[in-house]
Structure 1
Amino acid sequence: MPFHANVYKILVASPGDVEEERKAIPDIIAEWNHINSEIKSVVLLPIKWETHSAPLVGGRPQAIINEQVLGGCDMIIGVFWTRIGSPTGVSESGTVEEIEWFIKNGKPVMLYFSSKPVDAKKLDLDQYKSLRSFEERMQKIGLTGSYENIIDFREKLFRQISMNIDRIIHGAPTPILTQKEATAKSEELRKLINQGRVYIEDYEKDGVVKSFIVKGDTIAIKEDLKRMGGRWNKSLGGWIFSKTKEIEVAEFIKMSS
């Protein structure tokens, strides 16, 4: 039966070395629609420049894509592995320029960086170096996620799409925080939750803090922590997360207390 729904467009952005992920994203969105569309009165449409833009004579190529595609999209999925892409004359690559546009306009950004093994013989070192620099910048404002394989990618992206749609439905899209704001919010939330039975500690490895551990009485929320990307470490006695997840996890623990 027909039903009324709001339609949200999701831009798929990536360099050319993540073809498997680009093919998987429309399937993930279709699965989300199958499960949620009628219940939530929302339909999601995947948008790709190769299917939703037309060639025009003159002008900067990326600017043409921006004009034809970006303005009509509501959120963006960016995926990277070893490459950042080709410079556009304005930014490091077309994908980066698109992501920066969404950040500037306060729209949801979902970024994923693959941790799949890399063949060093085939690696473009300049591309890889630029990509790592970009990833570090995005980490500072809490926008990055990682995945180990295509199954891991599908699960994490499905979950993040659901979270972003719920925020939009309730009129509270995720704000893009500055590094200073993100640090302050993390510290404030950590102080609050560390007064309870579940608490957070930084996890240092090789002299660098890139992760944190959720410890304490986590039995009641273990499935939620797992769905949010946590990995149980028996020897450490807690759930390990990337630092980029700290605000999200801390807010969940605060609400669950």
Structure 2
Amino acid sequence: MAYQATILNVMIASPSDVAEERQLIRDAIYEWNAIHSKQFGVMLNPVGWENNVAPQMGSRPQEIINKRILNNSDILLAIFWTRLGTETGEYVSGTVEEIYKHCENNKLTSIYISKKSYPDNIDLEQLQLLRDQTQIWLKEGLLDFYDNHSLFKQKIKDHLSLHIQHNEYIQTIINELNSNDTPIETSTKQTIEPSDEMIQLIINAGEAESEIQFISGIDCTNLYAGALKLNLDTPRKIATWKSTLHELETLGLIQDEYDGKLFSLTQQGWKAFDQLKEQQQEK
């Protein structure tokens, strides 16, 4: 049965050494949506630089990320392990800049630090920078430490439920939107901008009036949507397009027809297709 939900953008922030945790957070968010979205009237939309930022010149790289996703995010989940990150020109690292700018706007920010065993090729300078920054953060708020991926994923889901129920910033957003009779697609009153991959899937499926097929085998993984036929021959490609399907499903633009292998456009998906076609004709 259809229901209305407030969409909150969740930015996943981190240096480069916690790629696995970044995906675990995305998976945790999708699982949280499946279980709790209707109950709380909230849909969480994970965003990050790897999927939601396109190449662009004319400004500091971190400033581009800030404008593209940080400013429109309601929740920021930051993860660290052995690195603090790369200096941005204004802050000691990009992730640190994201954290402080997010906090400046009184938005919900959670920091998780891994206590797993360190790799052999650890950058000792980066580790010391992280340790120094951790001591600063311990005086500014409550951090969470973990050493197990399974428990970490469960923590994310549990903490999201606590935040949705009790965080003052989130509750203010929900209450304001619930008192507004006009549907709003995001808490920042801005339409979520689709990635290039999302656009390709919607356009190709819509033009052919076909389903989207995601076929994973022992030797290969393929993605089909109308005229779009992709051989996903690397783990990065598989992760990118699998994440794209998850995001489209989270936004209610496609629905899973068969165990993550077959998807179809929803009514909202067809509306998005019509809008994208109109935009293409205007260019």
Q: Does structure 1 residue 137 correspond to structure 2 residue 140? A: no
What is the distance in 1 between the residues matched to 2:173 and 2:44?
A: 18
Alpha-carbon offset, residue 170 of structure 1: 4.0
Alpha-carbon offset, residue 123 of structure 1: 1.5
Match of 1:226 in 2: none
Q: Does structure 1 residue 163 correspond to structure 2 residue 167? A: no
Match of 2:114 in 1: 114
What is the distance in 1 between the residues matched to 2:51 and 2:36?
A: 25
What is the distance in 1 between the residues matched to 2:112 and 2:171?
A: 25
What is the distance in 1 between the residues matched to 2:121 and 2:23?
A: 22
Alpha-carbon offset, residue 171 of structure 1: 3.6
What is the distance in 1 between the residues matched to 2:64 and 2:19?
A: 23
Match of 1:210 in 2: none
Unaligned runs of 5+ in 2: 175-283
2:153 is aligned with what amino acid? R
Match of 2:153 in 1: 154
Alpha-carbon offset, residue 143 of structure 1: 3.0
Q: Does structure 1 residue 56 correspond to structure 2 residue 56? A: yes
TM-score, normalised via structure 1 length: 0.64
Alpha-carbon offset, residue 172 of structure 1: 9.6
Identity %: 40
What is the distance in 2 between the residues matched to 1:143 and 1:90?
A: 24
What is the distance in 2 between the residues matched to 1:59 and 1:75?
A: 24
Deviation string, structure 1 residues 81-106 (Cα, Å, up to 9, x no partner): 00011110011111111011111111
Conservation of the 8 A alpha-carbon contact between 1:76 and 1:102: yes
Match of 2:39 in 1: 39
Deviation string, structure 1 residues 42-94 (Cα, Å, up to 9, x no partner): 10000011211222122111011111111110010000000011110011111
Give the secondary-structure state (helix, strand or coil) at the position aligned to 1:72: coil
Match of 2:216 in 1: none
Q: How does 1:175-214 map to 2 (within 5 A)?
A: none
What is the distance in 1 between the residues matched to 2:33 and 2:93?
A: 31
Q: Does structure 1 residue 105 correspond to structure 2 residue 105? A: yes
What is the distance in 2 between the residues matched to 1:2 and 1:155?
A: 27
2:130 is aligned with what amino acid? L
What is the distance in 1 between the residues matched to 2:143 and 2:135?
A: 9
Alpha-carbon offset, residue 167 of structure 1: 2.1
Size of the aligned set, in residue pairs, is 172
Match of 1:86 in 2: 86
Give the secondary-structure state (helix, strand or coil) at the position aligned to 2:125: helix
Alpha-carbon offset, residue 7 of structure 1: 0.5
Match of 1:77 in 2: 77
Give the secondary-structure state (helix, strand or coil) at the position aligned to 1:86: coil
Unaligned runs of 5+ in 1: 174-257
